[in-house]
């Protein structure tokens, strides 16, 4: 019984680490894309004529 619990705890621990790393990567990528997009918008603002 303790072997089964040990295997389950190992699996859950590994999955938690993997999900955490994926969340960090997605967050950083999203932040970079938002910064680049905002910079482009601010740059294009200069060319608008109303």
pLDDT for the residue 47? 83
pLDDT tens-place string over residues 19-49: 999 999 999 999 999 999 999 999 998 888 7
Name the pTM for this structure: 0.72
- 2 pLDDT band (50/70/90 cuts)? confident
pLDDT at 8 over 90: yes
What pLDDT shows up at residue 1? 84
Task: Please spell the DSSP secondary structure of 2-49, one letter per residue.
Answer: HHHHHHHHHHHHHHHHHHHHHHHHHHHHHHHHHHHHHHHHHHHHTT--
């Amino acid at each position: 019984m303790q072997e089964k619990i040990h295997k389950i705890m190992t699996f859950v621990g590994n999955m938690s680490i993997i999900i955490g790393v994926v969340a960090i990567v997605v967050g950083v990528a999203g932040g970079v894309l938002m910064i680049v997009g905002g910079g482009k918008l601010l740059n294009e603002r200069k060319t608008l004529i109303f």
